Structure 1
Amino acid sequence: MALVVAVVLWELASTNGFHFYINFDNIPAPSVVGAALVTELTGKEFYLHILHSLERVAIAYVIAVVVGVVLGVAMGRSRWAEDIILPYIELLRPIPAVAWIPLAILMLPTEQSSIIFITFLGALFPVILNTVHGVEQTNSVLVRAARSLGASRTAILWHVVLPGAMPSIVAGLAIGMGVAWFSLLAGEIISGQYGIGYYTWNSYTLIQYPQIIIGMLTIGGLGTLCTLLVRKGCNPLLKWQAKGGRS
C-alpha cells in the first residue's frame, strides 16, 4: 500500500511540475517510466546488463563470505590474530569503493576483475566485523561446559561457537550483500561496459531520464531480492533460535 501511495504522489508531482525545494519538472512520471520499461524488456541488451551485474556480485560475494567468515572466526577466537588483522581492517574499511577504482584498474588486468575486486571489498568488511562480534559474544559458560566434557577445540568451534555466532554472521551476510551492490555500481559507473550501474550512468549521459529511473529501480529490486535470498538461505542455520514477535 505504501508503494502505491508513493507512485501516486510521484505521478501527481511529475504531471503538475511540483517545485518546492525538490524540482520535479524534469522527472518523468511513472506512466512514462513504465512505457520505457516495456520497451527495454522487449530487447536483449537490458537483460545483458542485469546478467553481468549478477555475475559480478555472485563471484565477489562468495569470495567475500569465505574470506570474511574465516578471518572473523580467527580474530574472534585468537587475540594474536586480532592484533595482526584488525589494524588493516580499521585502516581500509573507511575507504569508499570509488576511491579504490584507480588502484584496482592499475593492479588488475581487466575491467571485469577490477569491478569484482571493488565489490569484494565492499562485502568483506561487514562480514568480518559481524562474524568477530558474534564469535566474541559466544556464551563462555557453554564453551567451558563443552571443554569440561572433553570436547576438542574443533568440536567447540563447530558445535558451540559457530551456532552461537550465527545470528550475527547472518546479519553480516545480509549487510554485506547490500554493500556489495553499492560497491559494484560504483565500479560499473567508472570502468564498466556492461552492468546495471553502467546502464544507469550511460542513460544520464544520453539524457534518457526514464532509463535512469529504470536503472535505479532495477538496482533496488535486485539488491532487495539478493538480500532476501541470503536471509532465506540462512534460515536453516537458525532453526534453534527462538522466534520473536511484534506487539
Structure 2
Amino acid sequence: MTASVTAPGARSAAQEPVVPAPDATPDPGDRPAAPARWRSRAIRISSVLAAVLAWQLLTANDLRLWLRFDTLPTVTEIVSAYGGQLRTDLFYLDLGQSLIRIVSGFGLATVAGVTVGIALGRSRLFADTVGPLAELARPIPAIAIVPVAILLFPSDEAGIVFITFVAAFFPIMVSTRHAVRALPTIWEDSVRTLGGSRWDVLGRVVLPGILPGLFGGLSVGIGVAWICVISAEMISGRLGVGYRTWQAYTIVDYPGVFVGMITIGILGFSTSAAVELLGRRVTRWLPRGENTR
C-alpha cells in the first residue's frame, strides 16, 4: 500500500477553502448617483411649480373655500410687482441693510456661542456660574427683547443687531455644549498620554470633534436669526426687507407684501444652504450615508 505524503503546512485540494465566485449582479448602491440627484431636483422643482400654479388658479378665480383667496394677489401681480422692485435702488438698499445686520449679529453669535459652549462643556466652575443664567435666558424669545434693546442701545441699528445676536446665540451655544459633552473621553486621554497639553486637547480633539454638532447649531441659528431680524425691522427699523414689507402692508400694497415675503424666503434659503455647504466641506472626512441632496 502506498501512502501519500503531504508536506508540512501544505493542504490538499480537498482541504482548500472554497471561495465563492463574485456576484455578477451589481449592487444598487454602486449605481451612479447622478440620475437620482437629477430626479430629486426635478421633483423639488415640480412641487414648487405646482404650488405656484395652484396659487394662480385659486386667486385668479376669486375662490372662497373657507380661506379667502379672492382677497390675495395673483402670481402675475406679484411677479409684476417684483419686477418693478428690482428696477429700484431702494430694493437693493433694503437688501444690503438686512444682510449687514444678519452677518453682524450671526457672526458675533457664532464666536460667542462656540466659546461659551466649549467653556460650559469643559469647565465645571463655568457651568455652575454661567450655566444657570444661560438656561434662564434661553426660553425668552429674542423678539421679546425688542423693548429692552430700544432702551439699552443708543441707536435702532445696534438694537437690531443685538436681537439678531441673541436669536442665533442660544442654538449655537447649546449645540456646541452638547457636542463637547458627547466627545469620547478616550480621545482626550490619548492626547494626554502622549504628553499633550490642555491647548493640544482643545485644538486636536475638541474643536475637530464638535464640528458636526456645531454646524447643526449654525444651521438652526441662521434660520432663527432671520426670523428675528425681520421682526425687529418691522417693529423698530428704518431700512431693511422687514421694514419695507411692513410698510407695504400699512399702505395696502399686498403684492409688495408678498415681494418682501419671497425675498425673505430666498435670503433665508441661500444663507442656510451656504452654512450647510460650508459644513459639508469642513467635515468632508466624516463617513456619510446615501446622498439625498
Q: TM-score range by the shorter chain?
A: over 0.9
> For residue 30 of structure 1, what is the aligned residue in structure 2?
75
How far apart, CA to CA, are the structure 1 residues paired with 2:66 and 2:283? 46
Within the candidate set 114, 118, 130, 1:73 is matched to 118
Aligned to 2:146: 101
Does the Cα contact within 8 Å between 1:76 and 1:136 map onto a contact in 2? yes
Superposed CA offset, 1:185-229 (max 9, x none): 111011001000001111110100001111011101101101111
> Helix, strand or coil: the match of 1:25?
helix
C-alpha distance in structure 2 between counterparts of 1:226 and 1:208, whole Å = 27
d(CA) in 2 for partners of 1:22, 1:132: 44
Q: Among residues 170, 173, 180, which one is paired with 1:135 in the alignment?
A: 180
Where does 1:35-184 land on structure 2 (aligned, <5 Å)?
A: 35-184=80-229
Give the whole-Å Cα distance in 2 for the aligned partners of 1:228 and 1:86.
31
Q: Look up the equivalent residue of 2:201 and give its one-letter code.
A: I
Q: Does 1:15 align with 2:15?
A: no
> Which is worse superposed, 174-183 or 92-101?
92-101
CA contact (8 A) 2:212 2:279 kept: no
How far does residue 244 in structure 1 lie from its aligned partner after superposition?
Answer: 1.4
Shift of 1:142: 1.4
2:268 equivalent in structure 1: 223
> Would you say 1:236 and 2:281 are equivalent positions?
yes
Gaps of 5+ in 2: 1-45
Question: Match of 2:233?
Answer: 188
Which of 1 and 2 has greater Rg? 2
> Which amino acid is the alignment partner of residue 165 of structure 2?
F
Give CA-to-partner distance per residue, 1:28-77, whole Å, 9 cap, x none.
Answer: 11111000101111111111111100000111111100000000000011
**Counterpart contact for 2:110–2:169, Cα < 8 Å:** yes
Q: CA deviation at 1:16?
A: 1.6
RMSD: 1.2
Task: Check whether the contact 1:142–1:160 (CA below 8 A) recurs between aligned residues.
Answer: yes
Higher share in helix: 1
Q: Which runs of 5+ in 1 are unaligned?
A: none
